[in-house]
Amino acid sequence: MKILQAKKVRLSKQRQVLDGLADKLVTPESAGKNMVGFVEMYGTQTAALDDSLHGLEQDIARLQESMEAIRRNLQQMNVTTVMNETRVLCVLLDVNKDTDIQLKISYVVSKAMWSPKYDLRVFSKDGQMKQTTGEDWTDTRLILSTAMPSVGGNIPELDSWKLGFKPRQPKVSKSNSFLRKAPAQMAKMRQAITKKRAAPAVELVEDAMFAGQESYEESDEFEALPMASPMASNQAQVKENVTSTMYEIPRIATIPCDNVGHKVSVAIVNLEPTFQHECVPKKSSHAFLRAHVKNTSPYALLAGPSNIFLDNNFIAKAVSPSEEFDCSLGVDPAVKVVYKPVHKFREQSGFMAKHVTFTYRQEIELKNTRQDDITVHVVDQLPQSMEEKIKPDVKPADKHSVAKPVRLTAQNNIEWEASIGPGETKELVLKYSVEYPAGEEIL
């Protein structure tokens, strides 16, 4: 594997050398016969290198598959060897008379693990158990100890939007027109040979002010929805140590020695969440349903996968008893989000004006097709000026006021708290203008 990887690195460097020579071939003297010869050589050599690299990648993939198969076989052989081992325990007792004695034997084994797994549809908390200790656990009472994993979230986030001047292209005289055209021609030639797609263009943005938004009534950040009826179940007993927590499973479980996860019900926890919709229309045309929950159970909820619609992640950290946490429940198709195309207007000015002013209007439409009221938290971008001569016209707002329906965040993003009734449609309007020197372009 190391030899193949080294060969791949060597071929990649050879490819980079050829590309570097092509980029430097911009002198007028190279426009004749030598240029044609180099183009032919470049196409032949790069095609050969690409074929070699492709073959190496296939060889590496096949070798990795073989190594994985060998690893699985070795693991299975190890499990079989351990299962064939015989353990003998000898206990010597000294008693004064004949009597019945019950012995409780405790011993430590390795190659056993568990991880949390959740099903939020029915508000249950389960664990997944697997072990390769060499013995099958049949009708066994389990006690699970906690760990501290971590996973990520799934609602889009907006970065800061920054404005700056677009670099100007240097002016080239007609006598040096070949110097100007050669790099572009070589780039097109290299692109045709390697069949590489160009990277998508970066969207140009302008600074902003918001106006014309509707006046919404203040509401709580989370709106309570009906809870399901509680379910009866045997609960695991919680035993807390200094650095961890142990759960004694009340039901008997069977965990064979097969290194495969087996679902074990730890507890059914009934919690009362409040709900709020969130959307970032510039990045996604969907509204996400988020639950805000306080862990009123005696269990520490560890991070782990949960069966929520498309198997979304649960939380990004463990939640101890009495702590609060947010959980994304995926996309709610009953809330429609439309991010309309931006309208751009140029303000009239004198013929000899030194500055240009553009006004932009962005509309966001929200529709609630549910039978109850909802609260939608909407986030959109307001760009920041990175140049003194770029002057965005921004309407003042309380930057960190959570109580008001419109506010600015520390990242200069705008947020709305829109209360929408059943079947109602509301429109959010973002209006901003940007002034900058005439003859310049901004990005």
Write out pLDDT tens, residues 196-234: 433 333 332 333 333 333 333 333 333 333 333 334 445
278, 353: one domain:
yes
pLDDT of residue 339: 93
Condensed to tens digits (0 to 9), the pLDDT of residues 420-432 reads 999 999 998 888 8
Domain boundary residue, one of 26, 59, 83: 83
**Residue 174: which pLDDT band, with cuts at 50, 70 and 90?**
very low
How far is 33 from 45, CA to CA, in rounded Å?
18
The verdict on residue 114 lying in a domain is: no
Alpha carbons 229 and 120: distance in angstroms, whole number: 14
Give domain status of residue 214, yes or no: yes
Contacts of 183 (CB under 8 A, 6+ apart): 23, 26
CA distance 269 to 293: 12
Task: Say which DSSP state 281 is in.
Answer: T
Q: How confident is the model at residue 374 (pLDDT cuts 50, 70, 90)?
A: very high
pLDDT for 133 equals: 72
**Residue 143: pLDDT band with limits 50, 70, 90:** low
* Total count of domains within the chain: 2
End-to-end Cα separation, the chain, in angstroms: 46
pLDDT of res. 335: 92
How far is residue 287's CA from residue 366's CA, in Å, rounded to a whole number? 9
Asked whether the beta carbons of 116 and 127 are under 8 A apart, the reply is: yes
Which residues are CB-contacts of 431 (< 8 A; sequence separation ≥ 6)?
A: 208, 209, 210, 211, 212, 359, 360, 361, 362
Q: Is residue 259 part of a domain?
A: no
Residue 106 pLDDT level (bands cut at 50, 70, 90)? confident
DSSP state of 167: P
* One domain, residues 75 and 154: no
Same domain, 302 and 193: yes
Question: What pLDDT does residue 277 have?
Answer: 92
Contact 442, 163 (CB under 8 A): yes
Residue 344 lies in a domain: yes
Strand partners, 381: 413
The reported pLDDT for the residue numbered 199 is 36
pLDDT on residue 284 = 87
Q: Which two tokens stand for residue 374?
A: 């909802």
pLDDT at 372 over 70: yes
32 and 171: one domain?
Answer: no
Residue pair 288/378 in contact by the 8 Å Cβ criterion: no
Tell me the H-state helices in 109-226. 177-194
Residue 380's closest CA among 340, 426, 421? 340
Q: Are residues 38 and 158 in the same domain?
A: no
Residue 137 lies in a domain: no
Can you give the residue range of the structural domain that contains 20? 2-83
Higher pLDDT, 203 or 15: 15
| Per-residue pLDDT, 421 | 93
Assigned domain for 116 exists: no
Q: Decide which of 83, 105, 131 is a domain's last residue.
A: 83
Residues of the chain with pLDDT > 90: what percent?
7
Same domain, 363 and 442: yes
Query: pLDDT band at residue 98, thresholds of 50, 70 and 90?
Result: confident
Name the pLDDT band for 337 (thresholds 50, 70, 90): very high
Are residues 205 and 77 part of one domain? no
Regarding whether 327 and 407 lie in a shared domain, the answer is yes
Q: Say if 16 falls within a structural domain.
A: yes
On whether residue 64 sits in a domain, the answer given is yes
Residue 245: its pLDDT value, please? 66
Euclidean distance between CA atoms 317 and 304, whole angstroms: 9
Domain boundary pick from 62, 83, 104:
83
Query: Based on the domain organization, do 70 and 195 belong to the same domain?
Result: no
Residue 64 is predicted with a pLDDT of 87
Please check whether residues 61 and 174 belong to one and the same domain. no
More confident residue, 172 or 20: 20
Distinct helix (H) and strand (E) counts, the chain = 3, 20
Considering the domain architecture, whether residues 59 and 189 belong to the same structural domain is answered as no
Copy the structure tokens of residue 306. 């949960």
150 vs 245 pLDDT, higher one: 245
Nearest alpha-carbon partner for 131 in 265, 255, 251, 263? 255
pLDDT tier at 247, thresholds 50, 70, 90:
low
Give residue-wise pLDDT tens across range 390-404.
Answer: 887 765 444 444 445
64 or 205, higher pLDDT: 64
This model's pTM is above 0.85:
no
**Do 55 and 199 sit in the same domain of this protein?**
no
